[in-house]
Amino acid sequence: MWLWDLEAGTRARLFPARRTAPYSLVWSPDGAGLYAVFPFTRHPEFHQATVARLWWHDVAAGNDREIDLGWERGLGVERVWPLADGFLALLADGVRHRAVRYVRRGESWVSQPLAGEHAERIFGLALSDDGRAVAYRHSTASRREQLYGARLEGSRLTGPRQLTKLNEELADRPLARTEIVRWQGANDEEVEGILYYPHGWQEGKRHPLVLSIHGGPAAADLDLWDDDWAYPSNLFAERGAFVLKANYHGSSGYGLDWVESICCGRYYELEIPDLERGVDALVARGLVDPDRVGTMGWSNGSILSIQLTVENPARYKAAAVGAGDVEWISDWGNVDFGHGFDSYYFGATPLSDPERYLAKSPLFRLDRVTTPTLIFFGTEDRNVPPGQGWTHYRALQHLGRAPVRFLLFPGEPHSLGKPSHRLRKVEEEMAWFDRHLFGTTPAETPAVAPDSPLAAALARTGAARHEGRLGVAAGAPARLVPEVVPHAGLEVGRFEVTRAQWAAFDPAAIPAPGTEELPATGISHERALAYTAWLSELTGARYRLPAAAEAEALYAAREGENTLDRWAGYAPNPEDAAALLAAAAALGGEAPLLLPVGSFPPARAGERGEPVFDLGGNAAEWTTAADGKGLPRGGSADRPHDGRERAPSPGPGYVGLRVVREPAAGSASGGAATP
């Protein structure tokens, strides 16, 4: 790092004694110097476990020195906020931060703890340019985070006011009560954590417990709102469970001795007793049922959860582990930072001490595991490669002593980013704990997703057929007519009327071979009405076209299926659409973009009825307005998808029909599909 004098064109070396880049670097308001936050460790080589310390560079003197914060635990947020006479800092203090104003007195800085309504739970802040106002993040583990503003008067925050209304959708939802808890862990040293209570907890009743173990290990759980896809604490509390988050040995926020305590070969040796004794303490308080304990975590939280299932399999009735190691020799070789992490925490490389790596690897003791284990990994994880997950899964599957399930998330690195993947992770996790810890039996997650192409193919295969064609037989002699099913409050054709079905009405319209299941199109509104009249006479039931007023509900949930967007590969504007149709004309035929009915997943009406196909595209469908005029509705293959129904009318070759059947007198809509 260099400090340049832009006028003189000279430079000076900054902080030459530091071996790493700073977390942050910021000028004092008067430009007299720079504040820099550096990681600090006593290890001569590796910066794996550190505390954040503050340094000062005096520009005039050209020298650097560390600022004595008077606080062994270091900074909790890896930056400071300069003021005219000093700076504001958030010091590490276990599960909370300590907000402090430092005022310069000669060559030193004197600390003045901030006072005010929220001063004990500030987790980030910003200063106004004049240093007289502060915006800050405030929350607790049981209170949603908000941004607040306040005046800074000396070392006191006055007149706080809420600036945001975040997560208002949770305002009326029950949230877990939380408590800061402490117990004697490894070496009889105090361990601190956060306990989430079950929703609706009543004293005197024992509940299940889920250990929720943070990653790192040089990280910490704080007394702030932190429910997310990786650690959904309130979903466990909603199911009647306590959740314990423990800042085990090796966590940050407690000073250098604590964060370095598991280095140099002591990895696992202190953290596991810390966690086990935390469970023991809650059992001893009469809160937790000792026969209903589970564990979960991501990264290092997964690693420790796996080790718990090895060392005490009888205690842990369910485990969900994301991106966790089971075998350390390959980790050293395959992980981007494997040499630094493993050499630091194990005190050796696998080349110098392979026996230590074998002894530390849970893989070779997985025959002890009886805990049902759910494993998550991203396919592109470079922090813990997915091969670790495959090894874990294969071993448990091979040994056959514990139920095991393995989920891979395509394209994801060490942390899941896609909302759909995060949702899947939480849903699978909750179902796993429901089944194996809470004793409920949730519905199995179907292998065939309802909106998948396979589900569409299966639904189409299950549709009624007569002599190999979609539809059912009616009349004597038997004629092919549409299958009608209950959907969205109507008895409606499962498919658009096909060319084979239309030919039963109009023998002159015999379809060319291979086109029998295409929708019948090129039909006027009058001819569509004539078809429904013929169908009514043939079957003895009353058939009609959908009323225009019914179209809104019938096509409301439609998506762009076989529309021009699908053929273009993008959402075309009107000029694009004209060019696309001109190009499509080279395919030949009156309507070359039509596809066989049922080519896309069906619309489902939930509790209201059966799956129905092609409501969002293929052929537009005739409806009848109140004045008797025909109006084509629904998407069509020759027009862009437009949910606002502002696209131009489809061409005649892309307009067909779907029938509605009136319920028989005295009967309700619904029941089995019939002609």
Band of the pLDDT at 671, cuts 50, 70, 90? very low
Which tokens in the block code for residue 12? 């000076």
φ and ψ at 637, to 5 degrees?
Answer: -70, -15
| Tens-digit pLDDT profile for residues 613-629 | 998 889 999 999 999 99
pLDDT(559) > 60: no
| Tens-digit pLDDT profile for residues 216-257 | 999 999 999 999 999 999 999 999 999 999 999 999 999 999
pLDDT(123) > 50: yes
Band of the pLDDT at 645, cuts 50, 70, 90? very low
Q: What is the pTM for the complete model shown?
A: 0.73
pLDDT(356) > 60: yes
pLDDT(525) > 70: yes
Band of the pLDDT at 572, cuts 50, 70, 90? confident
The DSSP result for 216-258, as a single string, is SSS----SS----SS--HHHHHHTT-EEEEEE-TT-SSS-HHH
Q: Please say whether the dihedral angle defined by the alpha carbons of residues 613, 615, 617 and 620, taken in this order, is positive or negative.
A: positive
Band of the pLDDT at 575, cuts 50, 70, 90? confident
Which tokens in the block code for residue 610? 């059966």
Which tokens in the block code for residue 23? 């977390």
Which tokens in the block code for residue 607? 């509790």
| Tens-digit pLDDT profile for residues 253-270 | 999 999 999 999 999 999
What distance in Å separates the CA atoms of residue 429 and residue 34, rounded to the nearest whole number?
Answer: 47
Q: What is the pLDDT of residue 445?
A: 60
Q: What is the pLDDT of residue 554?
A: 80
What distance in Å separates the CA atoms of residue 96 and residue 208, rounded to the nearest whole number?
Answer: 27
pLDDT(195) > 90: yes
Chain-centre distance for alpha carbon 672: 39
pLDDT(597) > 60: yes
Q: What is the pLDDT of residue 607?
A: 47
Band of the pLDDT at 71, cuts 50, 70, 90? very high
Band of the pLDDT at 487, cuts 50, 70, 90? confident
Partner residues linked to 2 by β-bridges:
13
Return the number of other C-beta atoms located less than 10 Å from residue 77's C-beta: 21
What distance in Å separates the CA atoms of residue 177 and residue 102, rounded to the nearest whole number?
Answer: 34
Q: What is the pLDDT of residue 443?
A: 55
Band of the pLDDT at 543, cuts 50, 70, 90? very high
pLDDT(271) > 90: yes
Amino acid at position 575, single letter: E
| Tens-digit pLDDT profile for residues 417-474 | 999 999 999 999 999 999 999 988 755 666 777 667 777 777 778 899 999 899 999 9
pLDDT(608) > 60: no
Vertex 538 angle, CA 535 and 542, to 5°: 55
